[in-house]
Structure 1
Amino acid sequence: MEFRTIVNIPRPTFELEPCERILFVGSCFADNIGKRFEEEKFRAVVNPFGVMYNPVSVLHTARKMAGTPFDTAVFTLGTNHVYVERATGEIVDNCQKRPQREFEERELTIDECADALREAISLLRTSNPRLRVIVTVSPIRYAKYGYHESQLSKAVLLLAADKLTKEASGEVYYFPAYEIVNDELRDYRFYKADMLHPNEQAVAYIWEQLVATCFSATAKQFLKEWRPIKEALAHRPFHPEAATYQDFLKKTKEAARLLKQKYPNLELKE
């Protein structure tokens, strides 16, 4: 008997390589996944101008990062709700605790979401025309909208992502993080105490699915070789001055040096 429904995850037309330059922009879910890429020594830049919840705010970050080359960009969409500053008519990324009367809330349409993402991709490709793009929809629900309204917001984002990927002929890939959490992990034990945000176990599971479907064989091999070094570097001894620990540290640094020789893009702290 099968007691859960498994999400079918198609493979992208491209693969992620070890230590790639990756830009993560989007909701706090992008922070969670981006942090894991940082830990695994990808040259990741994660929400450099803060969390961006909607596609227009994602575009705002892309405008600021257009001069920086990346191999891959990951956009995680949280909501289609935006706040427009009444004085300027501009969509803001953060109200910065200013009075609510200074802003008007509205919802982006499917086309507006797709247009913003399309422009963001075009801007980032000025630095690397071969940039690959992964789009995800955050599984985090927005209780402040009401749960039905939150689902409507996610539906707009899902349709915009679908529109974008169908236009892009394999250059934009949709990864079903939203579906994995809401279907495969359909249990509150995979959520934090607020019952809205996926917990560490859920994020780890999504990471495993990303590795399985999007990583090259070389990238998977790198993870295996990096894991024992990462664990050794994270070790905190009771007696750091002890000869046995100093010998352990010397061997770890030598292993890291050899790994860097094999993967020249690996960045290690001295």
Structure 2
Amino acid sequence: MQFTTPVPVIKSNFPISYDSKIFSLGSCFAVNMAEKFDHFQFRNEVNPLGILFHPQALERFMQSASEKKSFTETDIFYHNERWHCFDAHSDVSHSDKETLLTNLNNAIVLTHDYLKTASHFIITLGTAWVYRKSDSGNLVANCHKVPQREFSKEVLGVDDISRSICHIVELISQHNPNAQTIFTVSPVRHIKDGFAENQRSKSHLLAGLHSALENTGNCHYFPSYEIVMDELRDYRFYAPDMIHPNQVAIDYIWEKFVSCWISENVSADMNEVDAIRKALAHKPFNPDSEQHRKFVSAVENRIRKLRERLPFLGFS
């Protein structure tokens, strides 16, 4: 796919390969990119506490993981017949209190391990708009459909965002000084905040992020937001909700990311993984035929050969 005004991307000197260990964190666009990593069988973990939208929620989570915080009953609450945590997404919520606490603490342990072992962190900022619980004064990561009257809404300032980013980088560096961190701003439009408010939010994120990156090492910027806003520039690249980029846009951003951040040495293996996954998804007309048995045998042989070099690959 070719466009007339491509957003420039620079080939990284620290590319991702099948030896890499990737930790993705942030908005729902982080999930889109993680699904691509999963498709090509890279070692990738994404959002152990679910989607986190704003920089201070990300900072709080990374601080908790750095300290190996233990969640207790004081950190959760019961609402609409489920147990929730204001530091986690609703996807993590559960009808059983003990299960929620176990899942929260498992997420902390997992993230603490990745803090020490990941080669690349990919962090996606979604919005600068935040909600503050009126009784505690604490910012929340998710409101969990608690009545809006219990919160006040505000926008994070550029300096607040920059400080959060710097602290996240500092936490990563303390545990893992050689890790590379890739920041990006999500192209998902938070229209529920308002059109002007969405632009204000994104501008604060961009200004705060770039201010932080000017003074940090091992950190990089990937222009997901700019690719959609300035290169694709058309509602046909959005899903029917006109908020989320559609699959064409996601695929295009992934192509850009690959050209910038994925080692050229793994292209053949990525193509083979892709071909095997498509073969496994094939639905035969006659599963009992000799032709299909030969097809299955050939695919299994390709998987065996690939696993000789990449034993961690999993196909189903």
Whether TM-score is above 0.5 comes out as: yes
Q: What is the match of residue 23 of structure 1?
A: 23
In the alignment, residue 94 of structure 1 is paired with which amino acid?
N
Aligned counterparts of 1:243 and 1:140: Cα–Cα separation in 2: 48
User: Of 95, 103, 112, which residue of structure 2 is paired with 1:66?
Assistant: 112
- Residue 34 in 1 paired to residue 27 in 2? no
Q: What is the match of residue 168 of structure 2?
A: 120
Please state whether the residue corresponding to 1:74 is helix, strand or coil. strand
What count of residue pairs does the alignment treat as equivalent?
Answer: 267
Aligned counterparts of 1:218 and 1:12: Cα–Cα separation in 2: 13
Please state whether the residue corresponding to 1:98 is helix, strand or coil. coil
Q: What is the match of residue 81 of structure 2?
A: none
- Residue 260 in 1 paired to residue 313 in 2? no
Which portions of structure 1, spanning 4 or more consecutive aligned residues, are displaced by more than 4 angstroms?
Answer: none
Report the TM-score when normalising by structure 1. 0.92
Aligned counterparts of 1:107 and 1:74: Cα–Cα separation in 2: 23
Aligned counterparts of 1:237 and 1:47: Cα–Cα separation in 2: 36
- Residue 186 in 1 paired to residue 233 in 2? yes
Percent identical across equivalent pairs?
Answer: 36
Deviation at 1:118, TM superposition (A): 2.5
Deviation at 1:127, TM superposition (A): 4.5
Aligned counterparts of 1:34 and 1:3: Cα–Cα separation in 2: 25
- Please tell me whether the aligned partners of residues 54 and 82 of structure 1 are also in contact (alpha carbons under 8 angstroms): yes
- Residue 102 in 1 paired to residue 147 in 2? no
Q: What is the match of residue 292 of structure 2?
A: 245
- Please tell me whether the aligned partners of residues 164 and 172 of structure 1 are also in contact (alpha carbons under 8 angstroms): no
The two structures, once aligned, show a CA RMSD in angstroms of 1.9
User: Of 239, 258, 279, which residue of structure 2 is paired with 1:211?
Assistant: 258
Q: What is the match of residue 159 of structure 1?
A: 207
In the alignment, residue 260 of structure 2 is paired with which amino acid?
T
- Please tell me whether the aligned partners of residues 169 and 216 of structure 2 are also in contact (alpha carbons under 8 angstroms): no
Aligned counterparts of 1:151 and 1:12: Cα–Cα separation in 2: 29
Unaligned runs of 5+ residues in structure 2 are 66-107
Report the TM-score when normalising by structure 2. 0.79
Unaligned runs of 5+ residues in structure 1 are none
Deviation at 1:34, TM superposition (A): 1.1
Describe the superposition over 1:206-262 as per-residue Cα deviations: whole angstroms up to 9, x where unpaired. Answer: 000011111112222321232221211222223323332222112211111111112
Deviation at 1:70, TM superposition (A): 1.5
User: Of 236, 250, 257, which residue of structure 1 is paired with 2:283?
Assistant: 236
Aligned counterparts of 2:280 and 2:44: Cα–Cα separation in 1: 20
- Please tell me whether the aligned partners of residues 87 and 102 of structure 1 are also in contact (alpha carbons under 8 angstroms): yes
Aligned counterparts of 1:105 and 1:198: Cα–Cα separation in 2: 26
Aligned counterparts of 1:255 and 1:129: Cα–Cα separation in 2: 38
